[in-house]
Amino acid sequence: MTDRIDDDERDELQDEDVEEQDHDDNDDAGDAWKPPTELEWRKVQRALKRANKEAENLRRNSETTNEAEKEETEKRIREEAVTDSEARWKPIVVKQAARAALAEAGLVKNPNRLLKLLEMDDIDVSEDGEIDGLDEQIRDFKKEYPEFFGRRSPRDVDGGDKGSRATRDKGSAALIARSLTGGR
């Protein structure tokens, strides 16, 4: 850093020497364009170097600012994408899990009525697929709508032994055949 200061001081001293020489040479003032003097040239070059350094520093600062803004924007976009994807698949996953849980709880009627009553905001799906909050809602459904739940009874069942169709008598010929064969 001290080398830079020494260089600047040396340049200024040289510029003063050159400036004195230039004042002596500037006696003939004409309207024609004259190239810059050595002093003017050095001043312009130093100013240009300073401006270039300052511009480089501003670019670096701008790049770091742009990178931070870029990272912030990417993070916001990722969060929006996650939210959008959850909004799409969460109801599907929850409804399928609810159908299975309602069937397991003994639902005897159509589950669509109860599925419409699910509070999706109260149900969370973790990354590993665990569904939290569904069991509580199904317990509440069982309390509020007991007519939807119960044991399913098989249809058309009575206590009589009807036997299989193969062993049923089909007529007198079958009775005679069974008696001759010993009931086989």
pLDDT in tens, 21-68: 555 555 555 568 888 888 989 999 999 999 999 999 888 887 777 788
- What does the pLDDT read at residue 114? 84
pLDDT recorded at residue 1: 47
69-115 confidence digits (pLDDT tens): 888 889 999 999 888 888 888 888 888 888 888 888 888 888 888 88
| Tokens describing residue 46 | 């130093």
Q: Which of 157, 25, 128 is nearest to 36 (CA)?
A: 25
125-148 pLDDT, tens digit each:
887 878 888 899 889 988 998 888
Confidence of residue 124 (pLDDT cuts 50, 70, 90): confident
Question: pTM score, two decimals?
Answer: 0.43
Beta-bridge partners for 132:
124
Q: What is the pLDDT of residues 166-181, one digit of tens each?
A: 555 567 877 888 878 8
